[in-house]
Structures are given as C-alpha cells and as structure tokens.
Amino acid sequence: MLQRLTIAILALTGIVSAMGPVDTIRQHPELAKRAQFETRNEPESEVNERRSKSKYYNSNTAKYWVNGNKIPDVNFDVGESYAGLMPISKDKNETRQLWFWFFPTTGTVDDELVIWLNGGPGCTVKAVLKDFYRKTDPSPGKRSPRPLPICLHKKLTRAGNRQYGTYKPSSRIDQPVGTGFSQGVPDATSEEDIAVKFLGFLENFIKTFGFENKKIYLTGESYAGYYVTYILDAMYNKNDTKLFDPRGLMIYNPTLSEWVVHEQIPMVPFVDYWARLLALNETTMDRLHDMADKCGYTSYLNENMLFPPRGPLPTPPHIFTPEECDVWRAALRAATLVNPCFNVYHITTTCPILWDVLGYPGTNHFLPEGAEIYFNRTDVQKAINAPHMNWEECSGDLVFPNGDPSDPPNYSLLPRLIDKLERTVIGHGILDFRFPINGTLLSIQNMTWGGKQGFQTKPTEPFIVPYDSQGIMGVVHTERKLTWVEIEWCGHMVPQYQPGVAYRQLEYLLGRIDKL
C-alpha cells in the first residue's frame, strides 16, 4: 500500500525530488517575464451583452460565468465558459466542493458531455488548469499565451461539450500551501468513495446547467485509469440514464494493473528499445538485464506477451518489489547520470529544463525574477471564480489519507466497461518512462472482454493523424470495441505532447469517424 502510494505520487509530482537535485539550467529572467498585454477596457454594456448572449447563461449558472475576454495575459477571447466551486453532495451543509471549468461546445452537437480527469493522485486540479494553459500555450519556457493552430479546446468543443471539471478529493491537510482550488479536508477512502463523491458533484453540475440526458464520455490520464473506470462503474450502478448515460472511455498511459506490471516487467525491453537514446554504458546494461532475468521479469514478459494469449496470466513476480528487483529505479538512476535533465514523462527532454508558468515541480520550483505562478495570481483566480488561496501545481498532500485500498481496474472492472460502452480507447505515448508501453499492453492481454481474452492479433496497423501534416503517428488496433494506440513522439501526457493525436482520438471516441 505504501509502495503504491509513494509511486503513485511520484507519478505526477516528478522524479526530481526523489533523485536529489538536478542541475536545472535556468533561462534568462527576461524571457520569463510575462508579456504585458494591454487588456482592453471593455465597456460594461458590451460585457453584459456578451453575457446575455451566452448559450448556457441563466440565473442558475450566472455565478459561474467567466468573462472569456478578461483572462489575465490572454489577449484573445477564450469563448464562453463557466467555472467555480460545486459541492459534492446535495446536503445543504456540504463544505467539500470541487472546482471545475466548463467550456460548452461551439458546434452544433450538444448532447454530449466530455469529462477530462487527471491522475496523481493529488495532482488533479492543476492538470485541468494545465490543460487550459496548454491549449493556449502548450510548452513551458514561453512567456505569454497564444492561440494554437491545433487548439485542443477549440477543436474539442466543436466536437462536443468538454468539461474541464475534475475531481480532486482534497485540498490541504498538513501542507501550508494549497493544492488546487477544490475545498475540503482530504477524506477519500477508496476508489468507490471517490466515485460516490464525484457523482455527487456531477449531479449538482448537471442539474445546475440543465445537462440531463447527455451522453457522457470520461477521459483522463495516468492515475485517472483508476478514477474513470470506478466512476463509470458507479454511473452504471445508478441505473439512471437521465443523469448518467455513459458511452465512451478514453485513457492515456493509464494505471490498469499492479505496479510491477507497469514499471518493472516492461523496463528492460524499454531500455533496449531506446538504447541509442539513453546511452547507458555496457556495464549498466548488463546489470539491468541481469536484474530483470534474476527477478523473473524477462521470462514473464516473453512467456505472456502473446497474441492471442495462452490463458489467464499468472500472478507476476514481486508484486511488492524489493530493492534488488527495482530495475525501474536502477534504470532511472543510470539515465539521470547520463542526462541530468532526464524526464520520466518524456525521455527525449534534455537540458535546459524550461521554467514553467504553472510551477511544474520538475523544474525545482525555479521561478525567474519577475515571473509568477499563473494560477496562484489573485487576478487569475478572480477571473475564473476560484477561491483565493495558494495554488500549487501538484499536491504534496496525500489525497487518500490512509492510502487507496482499491484494486487496479484490471481483469474484471475494465473489461465489463468495454462490453457496455460504445467505444473504449487506450492510448500510450512511447516516450514515457514512467509507465513503459509494454506494461499496458500486457495488462490488456490479461483482460477478458467480448468473450475472449486479450487481442487475438498483434497491433501493427498504422495510426494516421491528418492534422498538421503529421501522417503516421504510431500503431492502432481495434478488437471487440477496444482500441489500442501506440503514439510516437509522445510521452506520458498525451494531450500536452500531441494535441492533434488526442483530438483525432476524441473524434473517434465520439463517433465522428468510424475508425482511427
């Protein structure tokens, strides 16, 4: 349990703290200063007119309306959106509230609600905000937002309602610095408990906005592999399609199985695959291979990564990994010696680590002179109906004060969902060291859905993204309603690194295209 938690938190807080100081090469402070946009002084009458023309503006939603023309440092109108705090139950005295940001579709289809959740645990709200920031300026090291050619939000909203809402089951406990905008003392006891609270929030949200009878699509990344699956299961258990009518699921680089399956078993083949890039010396390579052989990872992968699988996969070795079998950490240490700016979420990252306006922990919290953490600014918080508090990208809190005892959504939960949903997409960026890709594929080979276990044939079809002339961006494979995508030039956070890919997959999820 402890191990799962430690690793889970590492999963999104970055590895730097675990590895000791990394030599962050800093940018010239001038570059980091934020651009001083002239915020146009829009007359109150114009604001009122825009507001009254907003599609979802009414007396229930009024307090959530965001003036899209007045987001600090954003010198364009982000369009109609709603943000704020919503309680997690119907109880009038409820003090626990989740912060959301909702962008309605700008298109004609409006019977869909797409929800994006992030992982962690404990890093969820930041990621919602990060996602917003990404769609205006996807990369760290920039000083001002700008619209992108492939702008996830614009394209996504054209495809369907996208709710930048999420579930952060906590805010602060013993930490002096606030973590995200959601309110309340951390009290999540399990994934089932998270699901109950999320649905409490979602019901309030749906009723406030009059969003009954919408098709619901749940999407997310990393630890959200737990969240989205348990939440979808809870939606089905409610048996109330007026409120909750789930249709699709899309998860990126998700946690599906035991940690050993995601980290240890696929590690050495990953290091071999990327050998030229990682440039580990022969002694190290031999040592890693030796560890993987002795600890049973090599034979486990070779014997079980079969299409179709032979039968239920046996219990993997070392569910609780002893130090001498922690080949994941050994490889990480070695990779970080060769590349001091090694990034587990994107292995081609090199120095300098760019400063990040969201205060990404991987940058050692470096803040250039004159720069501020964007969502920690009072003016920004005010603009998006967020409470005034210290905001930190990734929570140091334990979102689960006593750990998360839930099973991974492995062999029964996820398969059950695939059978009920119209479409399920599991995508994986191949530059992710956090969860090397073969672990996810191995997890899939252990699932039985649609009456059969695993994929019957090995994924080989090219995955083509027609945007930005990208072309072939990996491998795609669909069997019995489950689609698997291996994504090139992509690390752990797919919508951040490959917005065009994420958009294409969303088009598929929502049924706009028949196949990827």
User: Of 422 and 488, which has the nearer Cβ to ligand NAG?
Assistant: 488
Any residues with CB less than 8 A from the CB of 422 and at least 6 apart, and which? 247, 248, 481, 511
Cα–Cα distance, 387 to 382 (Å, whole number): 8
Q: Does 269 bind ligand NAG (CB under 6 A)?
A: yes
Q: Where are the beta strands (DSSP E) in 232-342?
A: 245-252
On whether the CB atoms of residues 270 and 437 are closer than 8 A, the answer is yes
Based on the residue annotation, tell me whether 428 is a catalytic residue of this protein. no
Six-digit token string for 81: 């959106």
Q: Does 249 bind ligand NAG (CB under 6 A)?
A: no
Based on the residue annotation, tell me whether 492 is a catalytic residue of this protein. yes
Out of 45, 283, 460, 469, the residue judged to bind ligand NAG by CB under 6 A: 283
Out of 65, 164, 223, 270, the residue judged to bind ligand NAG by CB under 6 A: 270
Cα–Cα distance, 424 to 450 (Å, whole number): 12
417 burial (CB, 10 Å; 0-12 / 13-18 / 19+) is buried
Considering only residues 140 through 169, tell me which ones interact with ligand NAG, judged by CB under 6 A: none
Residues in the chain: 516
Considering only residues 367 through 426, tell me which ones interact with ligand NAG, judged by CB under 6 A: 373, 376, 390, 407, 409-413
Note the Cα 109 to chain centre separation in Å. 25
Least distance (Å) from ligand NAG to the CB of residue 74? 20
Out of 124, 284, 343, 483, the residue judged to bind ligand NAG by CB under 6 A: 284
- The three-state secondary structure class of 55 is coil
Q: Does 93 bind ligand NAG (CB under 6 A)?
A: yes
Based on the residue annotation, tell me whether 182 is a catalytic residue of this protein. no
Considering only residues 216 through 245, tell me which ones interact with ligand NAG, judged by CB under 6 A: 239
User: Of 337 and 513, which has the nearer Cβ to ligand NAG?
Assistant: 337
Six-digit token string for 183: 């309110």
User: Of 156 and 487, which has the nearer Cβ to ligand NAG?
Assistant: 487
440 burial (CB, 10 Å; 0-12 / 13-18 / 19+) is buried
* Span of 21-29, 70-78, 138-146, 276-284 interacting with ligand NAG by CB under 6 A: 276-284
- The three-state secondary structure class of 228 is helix
On whether the CB atoms of residues 171 and 182 are closer than 8 A, the answer is yes
* Span of 82-90, 311-319, 321-329, 465-473 interacting with ligand NAG by CB under 6 A: 311-319
Q: Does 316 bind ligand NAG (CB under 6 A)?
A: yes
Q: Which residues bind ligand NAG (CB under 6 A)?
A: 91-93, 239, 257, 261, 266, 269-270, 273, 281, 283-284, 305, 312-313, 315-316, 334, 337, 359, 373, 376, 390, 407, 409-413, 430, 436-438, 442-443, 446
Residues noted as catalytic: 222, 432, 492
